[in-house]
Amino acid sequence: MRTVGSIGLAVIALTASLLFADHAILGRVIAELDERPAASQSPGRVLSRIQADLERVAVGKARWPLPPGAMRDPLERLVDAEDAFLRGRMREFADHANAIRAEAGGRLAHQDELARAQRDRSDLDKVMLPSAYAEALADQAHAPPLRSLVQAMRLVDAVLVLEAAEAVLRPMRYDPRARRNIRRLTMGDTVLDDVWLRLPCPLVAGRKTAFELVAAALGDLAGPLLSCPVPEASERDFALMERLVKRPGDFAGAALTPVTSPPNWDHHPPSPPWDAAAAIRFMDVNPDGAEPPLRLAAMNGVAGKLDLALFLHAFRDPSAERNEDIRTLMASVDRASLAKASPAILRFSGTPTGYDGSDMSLVPSIRLAALARAADVSAGSHAYPYVIPCSVLARHPALLASRDVVVQPTEDDGKVDVTPPVSGCLVGRGRITGFPEADLAAFLDATSAADGGGNSPRYPVRYRDTGKMHDIVSQPGAVLSWPEPVLDQPYQTWSYGSLGAKAVADRLNGLYQRSRTGLAAYFQARGLSEAESADAARKALFSLAYGSQCGNGPPPKSLRRLIMDGSGVEAMAEAMAGVSADDLKPFAECAAFAPFDPLLHVAVAHPALPLLWEVAGGVTAETDPEGLRFMRDVNARNHFGKTALMVAAQLGRSDAAQFLLDKGARVNADTWQTGKVRTLAHDSRTALMYAASQGSAATIRLLVEAGADRYQSDTTGRRAIHYLLGQGPLPPNPSLTPTERAEMARLLF
C-alpha cells in the first residue's frame, strides 16, 4: 500500500499546486441526466422541474432533459402552456390549459376520496377539500389568458403538493387553499407548507396591470404569482417587481429585511401596566403590578382562574377575604374540569377536596384540570396541559405533587391521555432567580440540529425530560449521582460525521460551556461546593443533550478525524498505516444514529485534498477500513444526496470546487432524499444553491462559468438567487458584502 509519507514533499508541492491551476471552462449549461431516474417521477421532483422549466422557457432557453426511459408528468404541459402564452398562440394555449384542467380534476378527485375516507377520524372539516379547491379554480368563460394560466398553475401545484402530502402526512390534514398542514406533530409535517409554483419574474415586465387584475379576481386563491425574490410582504407589489426586473442587482437591497430582537426583560422588567404573560413572569418582582392583568385574564378562561388562584395563594397574605376568593375561583375550575373528565381521568386525578389554605388542598384540583385538559396553556410555541407558574413553585414547591398520578390505568380504561401539569420553571412560564434559563434554552434548542431527529413527535427537551429538569432546578444534589460523561463535549464523536456536523458541534460547544458556567453558579448558590457544582452542571447538560454521547469517545487514530482536525500529512500517513476496523467502532456506532458523509466530503476543506486523491488510487480494500479508496468517486452522495462539490460550494472553497470539477464532478447534480431519512423542506438543492446561500462570490462565479444552471429550482420553487437573498432555508448569504450580494443577484437572476 502506498502511504502519504512515501510520496514525499515534492509530490505534495506538485499536487497541492493543482488547486490553483488555471483552467479554461466553457460558459455553457451542461445537460446532466440524473443517475436515479426513478426520482424524476416523485411529485416534489416534478414540481421542481416544472418551476425550473417555466424559468428557462421565459428567457428563451430549452427545457431540461429527462433521464433515459423517464416520462414527463402530464401536468408538465403547464410549461407548454406558458410557452404558447408568451408566443401569442392562444388556440394552442387553450388546448394545453384544457388538458391540464382535465388531468388535474381527475387527480384531485382521487385526493378527495382519500380525504373523505379519513373525515370520520380526523379534523378535515377544518381544511378545504380538493374537489372544492378545484371548483373554486374552475376556468371562467372568457377569462383573460393570464388568469387562465394562473388558474392552471394553481391546479398543477395543488395536485403535486397533495400527492407529496399523501406520502409525508398521515393522516392527511393538508389544506390546499392555505398551503399548510393544520396538524403538525413532527418536523416532517411542515415540509409542504407554503409550497407554490410561481410564474417567472420577467413576465411582470409590461404586465403589471394584468397581474394586479388577476390577483384581485382570484384573491387568496392566487397565492404568490411571481418568482421575483422579494419579501413576502411585497409579493403583490407588481410595480416594485417591474422596476426591479430592469435592475436585478437592486433585488439584493429589496429582499433583505432587518431582523430585530425582542427586548430582553429578564433582568429589567417593563413597567406596569402588564399583560398576563408579563404578570406571570414577574409576579415575584411586583405582585401589585401582576394582580390587575391576572384578574382580567381570569374572566376569560379556566387557566386564567387557576393562575389567579395560585397567585393569591403564593403572594397575598392569608385572610378570610383571600381564602374565599381562592375558594370561589377553584370551585369554578373544578366544575369546568369535572365537565370534561372521563371516569378514568377521575380515577387518575383524585377528587378535588376544596381549598382550606394549604398547598395540598390545591393539588387534586391542579392535577384534574391538567388531566382533563380543561386549563391548557401555551408556553413558547407549544401547548401544554396546565403549566404552574414558576414563581408560584419557587414559594410553594409542594404543588409539584400535582404531577403524581393517583392510580394506574386498568384494561377497561383503554387508551387514555394521562398528561400531568408541567412546571413553568421548565418551559419558560415564569422564572427562577439565578437560574441560567436563557443560556440553557439556547443550548437545548440548538441540540435539535444534532439529536438525530427521527419522525417521532418533537417537543422541547425541557418538557420531554421534566423529571430531570425538576432535579436540576429543585434538587441539584440529586444530579451528582447521574452517569459520568465520557466525552469532552456533547456530540464530539458525532461531529466527525460531516463538516456540517463539525460546525454544529463547535457552536454547541460554545453554548455548552456558557450554560455549564451558569448552571455551576446556580448550583453553588443552592448549596453545592464549587467542585460539586462543576461536576453536576456537566452531568446535567450531557444528560439533557439527547444522543450526545453516541459512539462514546472518537477513535484516537483515524484518517477522518485527522482530516477534519486539520492535521498534517505525516500524521495522516501514520494513522493510515495502523488503523483497523475495530478502532473505528465508535464512528460505526454513531453512524447508525446519524449517517456519516463519505470521506471525500470531509476532505474538501483540507489543503491535502489533491494528495489524498492520488493516494486513494493505490489503496486496496484489505488495507482501507475507512474507505479512502472511494474518494475517487467524485460524485458520491451522502445519505440525502449531497455531493462533495456541494460541500465545497457551501464552504466557499473555490479551490476545492475547481479540483472536483476537473475530476468530473457534476455541476448540476441535485440532492434527493432516498431511504428512511427525514424529508427536507428544500430538497433538489444544487451546488449553486449551496454557494449562493453561504459560499463566496468566487465560488458562485466559478460554478456559473462551469455550466451551473441558475434556473434550477428546489422542491419549493426556489432558485439560487432566492438562496442568496435569504428566501431559501437560511438567512441572506453572510459571506458577501452588500456590493458582492448585488453583483451576484445580477449574475443569478
Domain boundaries, the chain: 43-254, 276-427, 437-544
Residue 26 has pLDDT above 50, yes or no: no
Question: What is d(CA 536, CA 519) in angstroms, rounded to the nearest whole number?
Answer: 8
pLDDT band at 292 (very low <50, low <70, confident <90, very high): very high
> Using an 8 Å Cβ cutoff, are 165 and 159 in contact?
no
Give residues with Cβ within 8 angstroms of 91, minimum separation 6.
none
- Comparing CA positions, the residue from 362, 305, 521, 509 lying closest to residue 434 is 521
> Using an 8 Å Cβ cutoff, are 450 and 443 in contact?
no
Question: What is d(CA 80, CA 125) in angstroms, rounded to the nearest whole number?
Answer: 36
pLDDT band at 85 (very low <50, low <70, confident <90, very high): very high
Q: Tell me how far CA of residue 286 lies from CA of 429, 583, 651, in angstroms.
A: 16, 60, 50
Residue 655 falls in which region: left (phi positive, over 0), alpha (psi -120 to 50) or beta: alpha
Span of 84-88, 141-145, 625-629, 674-678 with lowest mean pLDDT: 674-678
Q: Which residues pair with residue 378 across a beta bridge?
A: 383
Which residue matches cell numbers 377521575? 346
Span of 146-150, 485-489, 569-573, 660-664 with lowest mean pLDDT: 569-573
> Using an 8 Å Cβ cutoff, are 735 and 234 in contact?
no
Identify the three-state secondary structure at position 22.
coil
Q: What is the mean pLDDT of residues 60-71?
A: 85
Greater pLDDT, 539 or 420: 539
Residue 254 has pLDDT above 60, yes or no: yes
Q: What is the mean pLDDT of residues 579-592?
A: 83
Give residues with Cβ within 8 angstroms of 212, minimum separation 6.
236, 238
Question: What is d(CA 584, CA 720) in angstroms, rounded to the nearest whole number?
Answer: 38
pLDDT band at 33 (very low <50, low <70, confident <90, very high): low
Question: What is d(CA 430, CA 276) in angstroms, rounded to the nearest whole number?
Answer: 11
Q: 392-428, pLDDT tens digit by residue?
A: 988 898 898 887 765 555 555 555 567 788 888 777 7
pTM of structure: 0.78
Q: Which residues pair with residue 643 across a beta bridge?
A: 637
Q: Nearest-5° angle of CA 618, CA 620, CA 625?
A: 120
Give residues with Cβ within 8 angstroms of 277, minimum separation 6.
none
Other C-beta atoms lying within 10 Å of the C-beta of residue 360: 12
Grid coordinates representing 574 are: 501514520
- Give the best-scoring range by mean pLDDT among 376-385, 665-674, 733-742: 733-742
Residue 21 has pLDDT above 50, yes or no: no
pLDDT band at 189 (very low <50, low <70, confident <90, very high): low
**20: buried, middle or exposed (CB in 10 Å: 19+, 13-18, 0-12)?**
exposed
Q: Tell me how far CA of residue 226 lies from CA of 155, 423, 732, in angstroms.
A: 16, 47, 20
Span of 164-173, 362-371, 716-725 with lowest mean pLDDT: 164-173
Q: What is the mean pLDDT of residues 488-515?
A: 91
Q: What is the pLDDT of residue 141?
A: 65
- Comparing CA positions, the residue from 259, 255, 234 lying closest to residue 749 is 255
Span of 2-11, 130-139, 188-197, 473-482 with lowest mean pLDDT: 2-11
Q: What is the longest distance spanned by two Cα atoms in the chain?
A: 92
Question: What does the mean pLDDT of the chain come to?
Answer: 84
Question: What is d(CA 455, CA 554) in angstroms, rounded to the nearest whole number?
Answer: 27
Residue 20 has pLDDT above 70, yes or no: no
Q: What is the pLDDT of residue 409?
A: 52
Q: What is the mean pLDDT of residues 62-75?
A: 87
Q: What is the pLDDT of residue 17?
A: 32
Question: What is d(CA 178, CA 160) in angstroms, rounded to the nearest whole number?
Answer: 15
Q: Which residues pair with residue 388 across a beta bridge?
A: 423
Q: What is the pLDDT of residue 12?
A: 31
Grid coordinates representing 544 are: 439533557
Question: What is d(CA 652, CA 641) in angstroms, rounded to the nearest whole number?
Answer: 19
Greater pLDDT, 433 or 357: 357
How many separate helices (H) and strands (E) can be counted in the chain?
34, 6
Q: Nearest-5° angle of CA 14, CA 19, CA 25?
A: 125
Question: What is d(CA 138, CA 129) in angstroms, rounded to the nearest whole number?
Answer: 15
Q: Tell me how far CA of residue 425 lies from CA of 281, 387, 392, 398, 521, in angstroms.
A: 10, 9, 10, 14, 17
> Using an 8 Å Cβ cutoff, are 679 and 191 in contact?
yes
Q: String of b and e for 517-550 (b: at least 16 CB within 10 Å)?
A: ebbbbbbbebebeeebbbbbbbbbbbbbbbbbbb
Question: What is d(CA 251, CA 749) in angstroms, rounded to the nearest whole number?
Answer: 9
| Count of residues making up the chain | 749
Rounded to a whole number of angstroms, the CA Rg of the chain reads 30
Distance of CA 744 to the CA centre of its chain: 26
Q: What is the pLDDT of residue 31?
A: 45
pLDDT band at 147 (very low <50, low <70, confident <90, very high): very high
Other C-beta atoms lying within 10 Å of the C-beta of residue 55: 25
Alpha helices in 378-529 (DSSP H): 390-395, 424-427, 437-446, 461-464, 466-474, 476-479, 499-525
Q: Tell me how far CA of residue 178 lies from CA of 143, 189, 217, 223, 233, in angstroms.
A: 24, 15, 17, 9, 16
Consecutive H or E run containing 743: helix 738-748
> Using an 8 Å Cβ cutoff, are 493 and 585 in contact?
no
| One-letter identity of residue 124 | L
Q: Provide the terminal-to-terminal Cα distance of the chain, rounded to the nearest Å.
A: 49
Q: Tell me how far CA of residue 670 lies from CA of 103, 497, 601, 659, in angstroms.
A: 28, 21, 15, 19
Q: What percent of the chain has pLDDT over 90?
A: 50
